[in-house]
Amino acid sequence: MSAWNHRHLLGLEDLSREEILTILDRADAYAREPEGPPRPVLKGKVVVQLFFEPSTRTRISFGRAARRLGADTIDFTVSGSSVSKGESFIDTARNIEAMGADLIVVRHSTPGTPHLLAKHLRCGVVNAGDGAHEHPTQGLLDILTIRRKKGHIEGLTVGLVGDIAHSRVARSNIHGLRKLGARLIVCGPPTLVPQYLTTLGVEIAYHLDAILPQCDVINVLRIQFERQRSGLFPSIHEYAHLFGMNRERLALAKPDLLLLAPGPINRGVELTPEVADGPHSAILEQVSNGVAVRMAVLELLAQAREA
């Protein structure tokens, strides 16, 4: 347990290179034996999943991770209407903490909400996505997948393609991968790729075909229809034409290109089915690595709280 003393995981921006490596190494061990013997390091602990936004795979993945470590889990999904009933989300969270939660995994459409909970609650907080800000466990599982496939991160060129402006996955990928020494190119139409992103140490490109030959990894981000104002690009058809990954485009890439997609994907928009299911794609490995990453995160946070 070399480098870890955080009681919350709010974002990869807050972590050092060593701390990220600590999580990845622990997660790698779990990923190597997905059917390994139970490790009840969270026995007697209660992990609550508090989701103010819909989620399928992240919620199931955290639940699976918590149970494999022996924790009790409670799922609490708050529909949009509960907010309009007037209960503040802080009150909701305090109520849930009072049920004995040790760790709260929270997803919310507003950036900074996990930070607000960390300030107001005594239990540990894991950010499972806050608006367009961060989604640290998704970033970590993308990085773990790259490391397991490529053997290293340093020196790789990673392209993030699509709706960078509204993507929390993009921000967590950028913070994590930059700290581990990758070169990052973000690519999409200027309406979805804010110029200020260069302050995070990434390059900006608007033409996918031009950057494809340089990339070792392409991470295809979903169009966040639910977070966008309308009118940021003319049509889905034009977007797919300019930025969709299809077989013709793949021919421009390095033969060992690794293709990631944090999902859920809009098939036929960001990726054609033949590419999504083809040999470059690691989409399903990402999902299984996700459980390993979340086991590592929950374990490290629980241990930091005992210490």
Tokens of 43: 């026995």
For residue 128, state whether it binds another protein (rule: CB under 8 A): no
Phi, psi of 25 (to 5 degrees): -65, -45
> Which residue, among 89, 85, 62, 87, has the nearest Cα to 73 in the 3D structure?
62
d(CA 277, CA 273): 6
Per-residue x/- marks for another protein, 208-247, CB under 8 A?
---------------------x------------------
Tokens of 27: 């997660």
Span of 137-145, 189-197, 242-250, 281-289 interacting with another protein by CB under 8 A = 189-197
For residue 78, state whether it binds another protein (rule: CB under 8 A): no
Which residues on adjacent β-strands are paired with residue 140?
Answer: none
Span of 124-132, 136-144, 241-249, 294-302 interacting with another protein by CB under 8 A = 124-132
Q: Considering beta carbons, is residue 109 or 266 the nearer one to another protein?
A: 109
Alpha helices in 121-189 (DSSP H): 136-150, 168-179
Span of 26-34, 104-112, 184-192, 269-277 interacting with another protein by CB under 8 A = 104-112
For residue 12, state whether it binds another protein (rule: CB under 8 A): no
Q: Which of 53, 97, 102, 130 binds another protein (CB under 8 A)?
A: 130
Tokens of 192: 């979805």
Q: Considering beta carbons, is residue 198 or 273 the nearer one to another protein?
A: 198
Q: Considering beta carbons, is residue 142 or 163 the nearer one to another protein?
A: 163
Q: Encode burial over 268-292: b for 16+ CB neighbours within 10 A, e otherwise.
A: ebbbbeebbeeebbbbebbbebbbb
Helix or strand holding residue 74 (H, E): strand 72-77
Q: Which of 53, 97, 102, 134 binds another protein (CB under 8 A)?
A: 134
Per-residue x/- marks for another protein, 26-65, CB under 8 A?
----------------------------------------
Q: Which of 6, 7, 13, 304 binds another protein (CB under 8 A)?
A: 13
- Specify the residue for token string 């974002």: 11
- HSE toward the beta carbon, residue 74, CA cutoff 13 A: 19
Span of 84-92, 204-212, 238-246, 293-301 interacting with another protein by CB under 8 A = 84-92
Alpha helices in the chain (DSSP H): 17-32, 57-68, 80-85, 89-98, 113-120, 136-150, 168-179, 208-211, 236-243, 247-250, 273-276, 283-306
Span of 24-32, 166-174, 256-264, 293-301 interacting with another protein by CB under 8 A = 166-174
Q: Which of 49, 113, 145, 219 binds another protein (CB under 8 A)?
A: 113
d(CA 304, CA 2): 11
**What is the gyration radius of the CA atoms in the chain, in angstroms?**
19
For residue 115, state whether it binds another protein (rule: CB under 8 A): yes
d(CA 154, CA 161): 20
Q: Give min distance, CB of 171 to another protein, in A.
A: 6
DSSP 162: S
Q: Which residues bind another protein (CB under 8 A)?
A: 13, 83, 88-90, 108-113, 115-116, 130-134, 165-166, 168, 171, 194, 196-197, 199-200, 229
